[in-house]
Amino acid sequence: MSHGAAEPLMTWVDGESQSSVSILDRGLQYGDGVFETIACRRGCLRFVAQHVARLQQGCERLQIAFDAHRKLTAELERASRLAPPVAIIKVIVTRGDALARGYGSVGRESPRRIVTMWPDAPLPESLRAQGAAVRFGQLRLARNPRLAGIKHLNRLEQVLARAEWHDAGTFESLLTDSEGHLVSGTMSNVFALKGQTLVTPPVDQCGVAGVLRAV
C-alpha cells in the first residue's frame, strides 16, 4: 500500500494555527495520549460521533482530564469546511506538558489537542471488484486489557508490523496476539461473513475497537 502525504495541509494546536508543540509534551515524551483519524468526504466527517466517543473513552481510561469537547467539535467543523473533497482529519489529545520529570503525572497538566488536515485518495475500485491482497504478520500483539480497545499514541507494534513488508501490491497485514488469536490488521479491523452473520474478533485483550464495530 502506498504512503500518505508527508505534510499536513493545515494544523491547529489548541485552536491556534501552528505546527509545533513543547518538547515537554507528555505525548511526545511517553506517548501519553490518544488519537483519531477521521475520513472527510466533501465536507462531511464520516462517523464523527463514534470517533469523538472513542476519543473520550480513551481519555477516561488514561485519566486525562479532557473537557474541551465543544472547542474540539468547532475545530473539526472548521477543518471539514476547509478540507478538499477527499481528506483526512487527525485529532490528537495529549496529557499536555509534563510538570515534573518522570512517568508519574502531577494531575494538574493541561491537556493539549492537535488537529491536522491531510490530503487523501479514495480507495481504488479494483479493491471492491477483486479484493485486497493481505499477508499474515510475524509480529504478535501484546495482551493488555487496560489498553485494549482505545487508540492510544503508543503505536510501536503497528510501526514494526508495517515495516515487515514493502511491496506495493500488499494492502494490509493481519496480526495475531501472543496466543495466536487473530485480532486485526495493522490499520484496520477484521470482519468475516459467516452465513448471515457478520463477525469480528474481540478486542478486550488487545487491538483497537474500530468505529465500524459500533455502526
Q: Are 12 and 74 within 8 A, CB to CB?
A: no
Q: What is the mean pLDDT of the chain?
A: 95
pTM reported for the whole predicted model: 0.93
152-186 pLDDT, tens digit each: 999 999 999 999 999 989 999 999 999 999 999 99
- pLDDT over 60 (residue 32): yes
Q: What is the pLDDT of residue 123?
A: 83
Domains of the chain: 10-122 (3.30.470.10), 127-208 (3.20.10.10)
CA 6 – CA 43 distance, rounded (Å): 22
Q: Which of 3, 8, 2 is nearest to 40 (CA)?
A: 8
CA 195 – CA 1 distance, rounded (Å): 30
Q: What angle do CA 186, 93, 2 make, to 5 degrees?
A: 30
